[in-house]
Amino acid sequence: MTYRLMLIMFLSFLIACLLQFLPVSDILTIWVPQWVALVIVYWALALDERFKLLLPCFIGLCLDTMNGTILGQHALALLLLSFIVLKNAKQLRRAGRLQQVVKIGFLILGYQFILFLIQGVIGQQLTNWSYFAASLSSAIIWPWVSIVLDDCCRRFVKLKEE
């Protein structure tokens, strides 16, 4: 893993965090995409075998601290998300754009569902189903995330040996 790649990864997570926690109006707040989860999905797809599993854990712990949720909640959800992505990396990469959008949408829905389950177990159940609206917006925003990050990678690092 080169120095440049690490820098780009760091910046991508920084920007994702900023976008995730950016204050927006009450109506928009349920529609804020799961930026951090999307970036994790992107790097899991792009790095494949070189993807370190400690990364989603660490990022998840940061999210937990920012949100004030119990430590490990987002970490576990991100870990399982990246596991599923790594398992199905080939199919996901080969899928067409629209198919990819649908698949990513379901992945983020699963990610949110894990968070929802953990919240339920510790007794702070959500009563509002609009919470899951974020997976729809995440799916819609996915092509742009992947295009931008692909472009960054192509310009600054050689990810794929061609």
Backbone angles phi, psi at 19, to 5 degrees: -65, -40
DSSP code per residue over 44-113: HHHHGGG--THHHHHHHHHHHHHHTPPTTHHHHHHHHHHHHHHHTHHHHHHS-HHHHHHHHHHHHHHHHH
Among 86, 136, 152, 157, binds other proteins (CB under 8 A): 86
DSSP state of 30: G
| Contact between 30 and other proteins per CB under 8 A | yes
Name which of 26 and 98 has its Cβ closer to other proteins.
26
Residue 87 binds other proteins (CB under 8 A): yes
User: Which residue stretch of 96-104, 115-123, 141-149, 153-161 sits at the interface with other proteins (rule: CB under 8 A)?
Assistant: 115-123
Angstrom distances, CA of residue 133 to CA of 83, 109, 144, 149, 152: 23, 9, 18, 24, 29
Q: Decide: is 7 part of the binding site for other proteins (CB under 8 A).
A: no
Q: If we measure between CA atoms, which residue out of 9, 17, 11 comes closest to residue 55? A: 9
The residue (of 14 and 102) whose beta carbon lies closer to other proteins is 14
The distance of closest approach from Cβ of residue 41 to other proteins in the complex, given in angstroms and rounded to an integer, is 15
Please work out the total of residues on this chain that contact other proteins, with binding judged by CB under 8 A: 44
The DSSP symbol for 27 reads: T
Residue of the chain from 67, 91, 117, 151 that contacts other proteins (CB under 8 A): 67
User: Is 11 a binder of other proteins (CB under 8 A)?
Assistant: no
Q: Does 110 bind other proteins (CB under 8 A)?
A: no
Least CB distance to other proteins at residue 142 (A): 20
